Structure 1
Amino acid sequence: MKKITLFLLLGCALTYAQKAKPTYNKTLAQSLNADDYGMKHYVFCLLKTGNNTTATDKEKEELFKGHMANIKKLSEEGKLTVAGPFMENDREYRGIFIFNVATIEEAQALVASDPAVKAGIFEAELTPWYSSAALQEVPKIHEQIAKSKF
């Protein structure tokens, strides 16, 4: 009987824990510039294959190194929240950036700092985007889980 009672109590506790709402953290919300919904404005960037078809493999390799260095720099500055490549696809989609800026103009300046975009290896499409302010925490978490660095 004691085992059944313990089992039932444990089951009730787990059920309650799963239903319990997280507590609103005003300090964290303010530090992330979150609105009342925990959201904020970003700029979403879709990188597509550019029009540069004459770059040699060696030139592309150097441009890609510069591209990765720029990603690291923008992330460290807090301007780039998320970045990553697409897997092989038939749409010429190469990757995305989610810029932690409020305007297209700010994002255009950041995209212009990418050597691969400047060289026409990539072409960037920018659009305003509204999402969770918590995305800004991704780079910090990523640092803790990445065994290897670029």
Structure 2
Amino acid sequence: MKKRHLITALIICLTAFYEGVNAQETNKNYDEKLAKELNADEYGMKTYVLAILKTGTEKSLSKAKQDSVFRGHMVNIGKLVTDGKLVVAGPLGKNDKNYRGIFILDVPTIEEARKLVDTDPAIQSKLLDADLIIWYGSAALKETLKIHSKIEKRSH
């Protein structure tokens, strides 16, 4: 008889736990139209690819050629933003890993990200290389570009 009561109690506890997990409330601020526009899942998240840019293998380019390549790098960043593929980019501080910067690309696969990164003159010239990693983050990240254009006093 004790065993039967124990099993019943366990079933009741598991049922209560399961119902508690599934009883999540819908966000009062939820905007279905915006969520769909940003390809958000039910948590407001989506898959991106994080590119960690690091020092490449090319060490012999002249200063003038490096400057030219990095000007092309900046132009390429602007094109990727305009095309809606790049949502975050920026340099990293000095570090012992030779990491130089990051991109967060609005694509769902490493293969698509590789094609985009390979359009960069700094990657093409091997001044930079990129490690690509799937990243799951807020679908609202793309909205920061609209805000940034309102707060930057000077453009690059």
Q: Does the TM-score normalized on the shorter chain lie above 0.5?
A: yes
State yes or no: 1:33 paired with 2:36. Answer: no
Q: RMSD between aligned alpha carbons?
A: 0.9
From 132, 144, 147, the counterpart of 2:150: 144
1:11 is matched with none
- Higher mean alpha-carbon deviation, 111-120 vs 84-93, is at 84-93
From 119, 134, 149, the counterpart of 1:128: 134
1:110 is matched with 116
From 60, 84, 94, the counterpart of 2:90: 84
1-structure distance, mates of 2:28, 2:143:
17
Amino acid at match of 1:73: K
From 51, 54, 58, the counterpart of 1:52: 58
Unaligned runs of 5+ in 2: 1-26
Query: Displacement of 1:139 after TM fit?
Result: 1.2
2-structure distance, mates of 1:95, 1:57:
20
Aligned with 1:116: secondary structure? Answer: helix
Aligned with 1:97: secondary structure? Answer: strand
Amino acid at match of 1:116: A
4+ aligned runs moved over 2 Å, structure 1: none
Unaligned runs of 5+ in 1: 1-20
1:24 is matched with 30
Aligned with 1:40: secondary structure? Answer: strand
Amino acid at match of 2:90: G
Amino acid at match of 1:144: K
TM-score by length of 1: 0.85
Query: Displacement of 1:22 after TM fit?
Result: 5.5
From 70, 73, 78, the counterpart of 1:67: 73
TM-score by length of 2: 0.81
Q: Identity of counterpart residues, as a percentage? A: 50
2-structure distance, mates of 1:27, 1:92:
42
Amino acid at match of 1:34: A
Q: Which has the larger radius of gyration?
A: 2
1-structure distance, mates of 2:54, 2:37:
33
Query: Displacement of 1:87 after TM fit?
Result: 1.2
